[in-house]
Amino acid sequence: MKAIKLICFFVFSSICVSINAQLLRTTVQQGTVEGVEQNGLAYYKGIPFAQPPVGDLRWKAPLPPQKWEGVYKADTFKDKPYQQSQRPSRPGQPGVSEDCLYLNVLTPAKQAGENLPVLVWIHGGGFNTGASWEQNGEKYAQAGIVYAAITYRTNAFGFLSLPELSQESAKETGRAISGNYGLLDQIAALKWIHDNISAFGGDPEKVTIMGESAGAISVAMLCQSPLAKGLFRGAISESGGSMVPVDNVRIDNNSIRNVKGSEVYGKAYLERMGMGKMKLKDLRKQDPEKFMGDPIAFGAGGALWPTYDDYVLMSDPYKLYEEGNYNDVNVLIGTNSDEGSMFTGFGGGFTSEQYEKEMKESFPNSEWQQKFRKMYPGTTPQEAYDAHSDIFREAAFAWPTYAWANLQSKNYTEGKRNGKVYMFFFNHAKQNFFRRGQQTDRQQLTMHAGELGLTFGQLGGFGGPSSPSDEALSRLVMQYWINFIKTGDPNGGYLPYWPEYVKDTETVMNFRDGAYLTPIPNKPQLELWEEYMKWRRENMTPLK
């Protein structure tokens, strides 16, 4: 009997040591916070990094969070930003709310001040949708990285510009701007992390930001924003980039609006919603659901978008990079081979008539129309589908990333700046359900977001069941990512060597059943976009 009691005592003691070894309670600037244990890690869910942006704070820059008394129980994910999709992503997950400015921290640390590297995840969703907890960062935490995931306001609540909002801002701040509330949320979250992450065992000087799609575009914008200077030392952009010129309008993905253009768009949006004549005080009282019903603003690719305001975002990022005026950090950036199929396939196909309409809307100048028709022919339904898909791929993701890589790499090789570029290309998928039923011999089939299962080690998502090849590649890719987060360099150990990117050389890491170096794919298309974007920078669309 004594022996049984002794065994039970040691078993119970070992369990207690295992649980207590995790950093399940710590103190941040706002007070004491308590997380939960998850697979040997400490998980803090739903920590406020700003005050709720509701009521009079709707369409205002985020304010610092208030202190709390006692222990804040960070044991439940908070609602995702208010968006059209009202249902939880999975059973038991939260819904939507304007009260959304929270972050999650998953840490392997046993005590505060361990100075572990930090990864900050910024979710995608076209600046319209998304949630901080939709990706599982557990494998990064198990590798000795403190993983944080942040939320930001989306759609009308994050990116609406109005003349009245700009006038209000001018009175309160001296800056006649409006619209970039979601980006200001991201910067506020990064500042909170910088000031508090050591309490979770992280090092504020070893922060890497990472995002996909709109999250990757956000990463690019944060690399450009003077307000984000010093808040991170590295950046990973999966299908992002932000190099398009300023314009009075946003034609597809070919430009970003200035403040005046965004104000005009915002007024037209409210008019379509029947709220065009309301005063700000009344707009701030409206049920958030009333802002969700406009199909134009919530179409594929999103239309409520960040704004070049010369405060959060400078209005000519291409020129800024030419001048070396950006946040000088190492970057790991790239795209997927069939990005645009998602934005084409949702419509159930694409006809030659749709192709012609799209060409005229996307390229109002007839000379450029002819150049793009030659590069992207669309005389048959299959050609039309492929053309629309590839045009979307280049405009939204591939060209901005290509331009970013070229400009930053040039500055590095010429010794003007220190930030290195590591460029990748995902072409691993052998099937793409957006192309189901098509008769095509196309070999490039990795759709938008198709790499996320590999970079997070969560296989079996969009692409269906995983294979041994998927699992092997995921381990390889994740090790590159982990190395970069820890050191700023993806190389190390058994991995094939990945050199810094240099234009027109075999320095792009191509992931397909392994990893091997190639020149940049689709270069003729990217060079056409380079010429076109130069023309766009010099030819602004008149404001109507």
**Residue 495 amino acid letter:** L
The per-residue pLDDT for range 418-465, each reduced to its tens digit, is 999 999 999 998 888 888 888 778 878 899 999 999 999 998 765 556
Separation of alpha carbons 211 and 119, rounded Å: 10
Most confidently modeled of 19-33, 79-93, 147-161?
A: 147-161
Question: 256-257 and 246-247: which strand pairing?
Answer: parallel
Separation of alpha carbons 372 and 353, rounded Å: 16
Inter-helix orientation angle 181-196/214-224, to 10°: 70
Q: What is the full DSSP assignment across 278-322? A: --HHHHTTS-GGGGS--TTTTSTT-SS---B-SSSS-S-HHHHHH
Q: For the chain, what is the mean pLDDT?
A: 92
Separation of alpha carbons 202 and 27, rounded Å: 13
Separation of alpha carbons 221 and 313, rounded Å: 7
Cα–chain center distance at 289: 24
Rg of the chain's alpha carbons, rounded to an integer? 24
User: What confidence score (pLDDT) does residue 209 get?
Assistant: 99
3-state SS, one letter per residue, for 86-111: CCCCCCCCCCEECCCCEEEEEECCCC
Separation of alpha carbons 222 and 193, rounded Å: 15
Nearest residue to 329 (alpha-carbon basis) of 420, 222, 415, 407: 420
| Buried/exposed 495-532: b ≥16 CB within 10 Å, e otherwise | eeebeebbbeeebbbbbbeebeeeebbbeebbebbbeb
User: What confidence score (pLDDT) does residue 492 get?
Assistant: 95
Separation of alpha carbons 294 and 451, rounded Å: 31
User: What confidence score (pLDDT) does residue 16 get?
Assistant: 35
pLDDT confidence band for 303 (50 / 70 / 90): confident
Nearest residue to 398 (alpha-carbon basis) of 245, 244, 517: 244
Q: Rounded mean pLDDT of 21-46?
A: 96
Separation of alpha carbons 73 and 36, rounded Å: 9
Structure tokens belonging to residue 314: 């400078």
User: What confidence score (pLDDT) does residue 207 get?
Assistant: 98
pLDDT at 256 over 60: yes
Nearest residue to 286 (alpha-carbon basis) of 162, 179, 168, 157: 157
Nearest residue to 435 (alpha-carbon basis) of 523, 301, 339, 513: 339
pLDDT at 166 over 60: yes
User: What confidence score (pLDDT) does residue 439 get?
Assistant: 76
Structure tokens belonging to residue 245: 């010129």
> Which residues, including other chains, have CB under 8 Å from residue 525's CB and lie 6 or more apart?
375, 376, 390, 394, 398
C-alpha pair distances (Å), 145 with each of 202, 206, 484:
8, 10, 11
pTM: 0.94
pLDDT at 19 over 60: no
Contact 249, 236 (CB under 8 A): no
Reduced to 3 states, what is the DSSP secondary structure of residue 347? coil
Nearest residue to 302 (alpha-carbon basis) of 337, 253, 347, 360: 253
> Which residues, including other chains, have CB under 8 Å from residue 540's CB and lie 6 or more apart?
245, 246, 247, 248
User: What confidence score (pLDDT) does residue 543 get?
Assistant: 84
Phi and psi at residue 72, to the nearest 5°: -85, 120
Question: 234-238 and 330-336: which strand pairing?
Answer: parallel
Among 152-166, 434-448, 512-526, name the one with the lowest average pLDDT. 434-448
User: What confidence score (pLDDT) does residue 67 get?
Assistant: 98
Separation of alpha carbons 105 and 140, rounded Å: 12
User: Kindly report the CA angle at 212 between 210 and 218, in degrees rounded to 5?
Assistant: 70
Separation of alpha carbons 96 and 90, rounded Å: 13
Q: Rounded mean pLDDT of 163-178?
A: 98
Question: 36-38 and 41-48: which strand pairing?
Answer: antiparallel
Neighbours of 76 (CB within 10 A): 9
User: What confidence score (pLDDT) does residue 12 get?
Assistant: 32
The per-residue pLDDT for range 323-382, each reduced to its tens digit, is 999 999 999 999 999 999 999 977 667 889 999 998 998 998 999 999 999 999 999 999
Q: Rounded mean pLDDT of 67-82?
A: 97
Q: Rounded mean pLDDT of 107-117?
A: 97
Among 15-29, 112-126, 221-235, 486-500, name the one with the lowest average pLDDT. 15-29
The per-residue pLDDT for range 46-55, each reduced to its tens digit, is 999 999 999 9
Nearest residue to 326 (alpha-carbon basis) of 314, 334, 310, 335: 314
Q: What percent of the chain has pLDDT over 90?
A: 82
pLDDT confidence band for 302 (50 / 70 / 90): low
Among 6-10, 184-188, 452-456, name the one with the lowest average pLDDT. 6-10
Q: What is the DSSP letter of 497?
A: P
Separation of alpha carbons 427 and 513, rounded Å: 9
Q: What is the full DSSP assignment across 223-264? A: HH-GGGTTS-SEEEEES----PPEESS--TTS-EEBHHHHHH
Q: Which domains does the chain have, with CATH numbers?
A: 1-212+259-306 (3.40.50.1820), 343-544 (3.40.50.1820)
How many CA atoms lie within 13 Å of 249's alpha carbon, on the beta-carbon side? 14
Contact 429, 454 (CB under 8 A): no
Hey, what's the torsion of the CAs at 283, 287, 293, 298, to 10 degrees?
Answer: 70
Reduced to 3 states, what is the DSSP secondary structure of residue 52? coil
